[in-house]
Amino acid sequence: MASSHVMSPPQNSRATRSSLACLPCRSRHLKCDGKRPVCARCSESDQQCHYARSRRGGLDRAALAERRKRLSGVDTTDTEPVTIAGNWSPQRIVGVQGELDLTSQFIEANFDKGGGLLDGVGFGNTTSNVDSPGSATSFQVQMSNIEKDPLVHSYYKSFHRFHPLLLPRRHMTRHYQNPNHHLSLKPLIAAMRLVGYIYNFREWSSALQDHVETCLAQAMPSDPVLVQVRLLYSVALFWYDHKKQAKAEINDAIRLALDLQMHHEEFAVKNGAEDPVVSESWRRTWWMLYTVDAYYAGTLGTMEFQVMEVDATVGLPCEEQEYESGVIPEPKTVQEFDCREFSSEDTVFSSFAYLIGAVKCTAMAISSVPKIAAKEDSLHVIQAADSALDGWLLFLPKDRKQVMTKTGEIDELMFQAHLLIHVSSIGIHRPLSDLKFNPVENISSCAREPPADNPTPELINVHTVRVMRAAEAQIRLLALPVRPFYHSPFTTCMISEGTLALLSACHFLLKGPKLAIARDQIRMTIGCLKTLAEMWPRSARNVREIQTIAHHVLGLGSKSTSMNGTPCSSDLPNLSGGNGQGSLGSEGEASSNDTDMLPLLGSIDDLCGWYNIGDLGTEFAWDMNNAS
């Protein structure tokens, strides 16, 4: 999305760069020594280092001359499609002005046939073997038309509703038709294509990653579009387990947003090019940065919020249907939202605004509680933290308490907001509850630091009930009749933390039918996580961690199993000792049997077969191949 002041950038405003610089250094406009295979800066920061591919595509002089001769008749203007025939490898398609071309027509022709391209095509990481000997595969690459780009289509279909900061598709297409916007939007389209590729092909594309970083390196360092680019790119990197590079990208996005004063309403107005939809997108960019920053703090367990204390005057986002239609109302303010309890009118805010409110009140609740809660903190947690969380819930309009419409559609932003509130309640209360922590939980990438061994607080039952109520509310969200379970990847750790609490309840608290029901609920949550894991390797790793923890905490591995090989709930040993007493003991130490099982943790893959989608039964055996 181009801003008014970057449509015609001065030619001498770009920082000079070495042509030998690696892509990570170039994209962040840092000096690079160009050393291969890893430059000094990437080596020092321990991040992945890679260089732009040669435009020759690795061909020798004879092959290069032959290719030039074969393509000599191709029109290479910026507005005409490029037609290429013959055997091809998607990673080596280089077209107009060296830009990475996408096989739009070819992909589109196979886009809706069984969830991907023809069998045998590894677009992005392997060489295609579609062509039979002597045959020619022809396809066109549209250089200036994103309307029919299948990867852009995949982005809007599969990801945009989870994090709706970019222009709606119709407005983005119209905006991109202006040639003055191409240079500024180039890195953004590249990032959208990478995310779209992940959702369509369920794998990473090194070629598209290189293209994103090349575009970042060529962009003006102060272009506000780069905030959007780096935010999207960071999310993709993080959930593909490129944690350090992801954090570097989100940190750069935050620095640039603050430098540009994107948190002020004046920025959205000034850079909106007199288009209310563009101004709205800038507002959403700041608030999505605000939200994702909090998601990172929670997911990584750091609880370090970089922008939480920033005094933002930018208006709150409007309703999603208003944004899509282009009819943007006067934005409501943060002050109006924060004082809604004193308003004589029942003002209803947008779902995005309630998500922002959920982020804010959970951050306040968490910050009011010591990182390691002690017995004397019990009453303070109930008085301070619960007031913030309950205040958000109590002032929800009736229609916002239901995240599913009458037609069966999920309000994705309210879904995230409710999950966030519930997982915050679990995280705050569990250390003071009867649901003890098992040392094996340390292997979870989503687990919090276990509390110190403290005397039992007087209000332990209040804390235990709070955790169980929050876990039950989370289960109700996950059980909504919409399949497949496709939501933001950041919901992974929200779900996982609730699952760990439920596992502890199975161990220490629940018996008989309630234990069997909880086991079914755990099975469902792991099924939901498995669906996210199809797209995101970090989510897949989390599934393996949860399975291993469950195997250990529930004492699975007994001889008694169900007909399909899954241990039966009724066959479990009586793990609940009452009043917080179980095999861990009151001091949280593992028993001898638990200690003997610890070596199993090194071979997670051997335990991953415990939960299979087939075990969920017809009620939950949803179609895993088609996006909702």
In SS3 terms, 286-314 reads as HHHHHHHHHHHHHHCCCCCCCCCCCCCCC
Least confident of 279-283, 368-372, 449-453: 449-453
pLDDT of 282 strictly over 90: yes
In a domain, 276, yes or no: no
In a domain, 172, yes or no: yes
pLDDT of 574 reads: 33
Cβ–Cβ < 8 Å for 488, 235: no
Average pLDDT score over residue span 499-507: 94
Structural domains in the chain (count): 2
In a domain, 590, yes or no: yes
For residue 140, what are the β-bridge partners?
83
User: In the listed set 232, 260, 288, which residue is the last one of a domain according to the structure?
Assistant: 260
In a domain, 37, yes or no: yes
Tell me the average pLDDT of the chain: 75
CA angle 247, 389, 399 (to 5 degrees): 100
In a domain, 429, yes or no: yes
For residue 141, what are the β-bridge partners?
82
| Domain ranges, residue 615 | 368-620
Q: Are residues 131 and 254 in the same domain?
A: yes
pLDDT of 5 strictly over 50: no
Q: Are residues 372 and 247 in the same domain?
A: no
- pLDDT of 173-184, one tens digit each? 999 988 889 889
pLDDT of 56 strictly over 90: no
In this prediction, residue 378 has a pLDDT band, given cuts at 50, 70 and 90, of confident
- pLDDT of 102-157, one tens digit each? 444 444 444 333 333 323 323 334 333 333 333 323 223 344 578 889 999 999 99
pLDDT of 604 reads: 31
Question: By three-state DSSP, how is residue 100 classified?
Answer: strand
pLDDT of 139 reads: 29
Q: Are residues 244 and 391 in the same domain?
A: no
pLDDT of 24 strictly over 50: yes
Tell which wins on pLDDT, 374 or 589.
Answer: 374
Q: Are residues 564 and 442 in the same domain?
A: yes
Average pLDDT score over residue span 5-20: 44
Count of Cβ atoms closer than 10 Å to residue 336 Cβ? 15
DSSP H or E stretch at residue 84: strand 82-84
Share of the chain above pLDDT 90, in %: 47
Share of the chain above pLDDT 70, in %: 69
Q: Which amino acid belongs to residue 333? A: T
User: In the listed set 234, 260, 286, which residue is the last one of a domain according to the structure?
Assistant: 260
pLDDT of 616 strictly over 70: no
Residue 341 contacts by C-beta under 8 Å, 6 or more apart in sequence? 391, 395
In this prediction, residue 451 has a pLDDT band, given cuts at 50, 70 and 90, of low
In a domain, 163, yes or no: yes
Tokens of 264: 């002020």
Average pLDDT score over residue span 434-456: 78
Question: By three-state DSSP, how is residue 433 classified?
Answer: coil
User: In the listed set 211, 230, 260, which residue is the last one of a domain according to the structure?
Assistant: 260
How far is 219 from 222, CA to CA, in rounded Å? 8
In this prediction, residue 237 has a pLDDT band, given cuts at 50, 70 and 90, of very high
pLDDT of 268 strictly over 70: yes
In a domain, 290, yes or no: no
Residue 384 contacts by C-beta under 8 Å, 6 or more apart in sequence? 365, 368, 369
In a domain, 311, yes or no: no
